[in-house]
Amino acid sequence: MASSPRDQHHPGPFSLNKYHVSEEYGFVLPAPLTDLPQYYQPWMQIARQLTELIDSHSLRSEVHKMPQLDTCYLQTHRELRLAHLALSLLTMGYVWQEGEEGTVKVLPQNLAVPYWEVSQRLGLPPILTHADGVLANWRKTNPEGPFEMENLELILTLPGGDSVRGFFLVTLLVELAAVPGVKAIPRMINSMLQQDKQTVQAGLNDITQALKNMTDAIRLMHAHVDPAVFYGIMRLYLSGWKDNPLMAEGLVYEGVRTEPLQYSGGSAAQSSLLHCFDELLGVQHEPESGAFLTRMRDYMPPMHKQLVQDISSGPSLRQYVLDAADPQLTQAFSTCVSQLLSLRSYHINIVSRFITIPAARARQLKNRSEGPAEALSRAPVALEERGTGGSGIMNFLKSVRDRTKEVSIPPATL
């Protein structure tokens, strides 16, 4: 991943405030809106019925009947985020309603134009992103209750039932588990500039603990997401029209551009979390994986992307640890890298369970569609070995894991 020079110092203390990152929620949007003003109800009504309309093969006809609404009445950031979520889901449903065999080449103007305008105002692409489905798509059942699966619901959803809820909300809990680690980053950058080793070491410990908690949160996928449903149903609706053989040319956004546009589908690589930790720890990815990860930053809210870039251009933590030659600090750094490695190894196990193994089963079940095999038999064949973001998933994840190992500091360097 291309990095800016690390010898530039930040003017004044480094702070999360300017990046729209919350002290309590991190990159998650605090208290997302659950409804839009009356004028925008045509979008919300269809978005709330999305699954039923797809099941009855009538979503496209309902979209065609929608009035083309003016986006000028969307005034707040939260209104724009909910509008983007709703229009994203309408778009994914519209494109994939008939499965991999019945894709469309054109998104109709009454959906494409407002979607484009909202996307431009937010600095997000006109496709469903991690920032939509995870960061801005949650509400507490009991507002005073805890941040736990039992007290969380999605605002809007896609086909896949409880597994969609589980997938998005478990990912939300991973984001929240990371917050203490994200908050440690500006403290560490400021402390490096002030030669305050103790605070740097404490920050490394905070990130290590956050990475452990993130790994524990990911484990909840097993309880809340059915691999057959994820592979056979959900994955298609999370897929985009870039690096996707099902839509090799892309999608025409009618009334926006005459030529097709290509956008990647939703991906964990669109979360700012590991980008921040990688840049802080100095992980350098190999060219192909690095190029994909860098491109995924264009799918983040602009200020979150800016934070990643500013961490990259800050002082090098790894060099600071090497120069300090302090055994405890070096140990804290290596432990942190090891924990990031553990998280990435566990993510590979998750992907194997939810993509690689179902892909193998789907190939065996091509000519059978009875019982539990039904979802797998409908799985998008062209996407067998790819992530929803369009990456060759296993090679990519193993490359990222292997490059993470390389930043650890061997004891011999002390």
* Tens digits of residue pLDDT in 247-297: 999 999 999 999 999 999 999 999 999 999 999 999 999 999 999 999 999
Assigned domain for 126 exists = yes
Assigned domain for 85 exists = yes
Assigned domain for 9 exists = no
Q: Reduce the secondary structure of 346-371 to three states and give it as a string.
A: HHHHHHHHHHHHHHHHHHHCCCCCCC
Assigned domain for 269 exists = yes
Assigned domain for 251 exists = yes
- Nearest CA to 47 out of 23, 63, 67 is that of 63
Assigned domain for 201 exists = yes
Q: pLDDT, tens digit, for every residue of 188-233?
A: 999 999 999 999 999 999 999 999 999 999 999 999 999 999 999 9
Q: Which of 105-109, 256-260, 394-398 bottoms out in mean pLDDT, i.e. has the lowest?
A: 394-398
pLDDT of residue 39 exceeding 60: yes
Q: Look-up: residue for tokens 């961490």?
A: 311
Q: Give whole-number Cα distances, 47 to 88, 129, 133, 279, in Å.
A: 9, 16, 13, 37
At residue 1 the predicted structure's pLDDT band, cuts being 50, 70 and 90, is very low
Distance of alpha carbon 407 from alpha carbon 134, whole angstroms: 30
SS percent in the chain: helix, strand, coil, step 5: 60, 5, 35
Domain at 129, CATH number: 1.20.58.480
Predicted local distance difference test score (pLDDT) of residue 264: 95
* 84 annotated to a ligand binding site: no
pLDDT of residue 375 exceeding 90: no
Total tally of structural domains belonging to the chain: 1
Assigned domain for 5 exists = no
Percentage of the chain with pLDDT > 90? 81
- Which residues constitute the domain of residue 22? 17-407
pLDDT of residue 377 exceeding 60: no
Q: Look-up: residue for tokens 């750094």?
A: 333
Assigned domain for 141 exists = yes
Residue 252 dihedral angles phi and psi, to the nearest 5°:
-85, 125
Dihedral, CA atoms, 170, 171, 174, 176, nearest 10 degrees? Answer: -90
pTM over cut 0.85: yes
Average pLDDT of 136-164?
Answer: 97
Distance of alpha carbon 86 from alpha carbon 47, whole angstroms: 6
